[in-house]
């Protein structure tokens, strides 16, 4: 008796939302393509992704100068 191969996990591409396989066979995982992977990298490089945080005391000191 052989064990069936595990079903590959499918996820939504973070960039375009298209369903893609999250497995070693997808070199761009979790993205669907090199294009989507590049767009995401470009957004990181341009600092488009930001985490909101309250101003620190250093920020307030610089604003007062």
Q: Report pLDDT for 60.
A: 65
At residue 64, the pLDDT reads 66
**pLDDT tens by residue, the chain, 65 residues:** 788 878 889 999 999 999 999 999 999 999 999 999 999 999 999 999 888 888 877 766 666 66
What single string gives the DSSP state of each residue in 10-55? EEE-TTT--EEEESTT-TTTTSSSHHHHHHHHHHHHTT------PP
Residue 32 counted as an annotated binding residue: yes
30 is in an annotated binding site: no
Conformational region of residue 55, where left means phi above 0, alpha means psi within -120 to 50, and beta covers everything else: beta
pTM across the whole model: 0.66
Q: Is 8 annotated as a binding residue?
A: no
49 appears as a binding residue in the annotation: no
Instruction: Give domain 9-51's CATH architecture.
Output: 2-Layer Sandwich (3.30)
What pLDDT score does 61 carry? Answer: 64
């Amino acid at each position: 008796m052989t064990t069936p191969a595990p079903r590959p996990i499918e996820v939504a591409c973070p960039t375009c939302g298209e369903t893609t396989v999250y497995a070693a066979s997808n070199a761009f995982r979790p993205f669907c393509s090199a294009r989507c992977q590049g767009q995401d990298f470009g957004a990181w490089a341009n600092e488009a992704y930001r985490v909101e945080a309250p101003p620190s005391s250093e920020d307030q000191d610089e604003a007062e100068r």
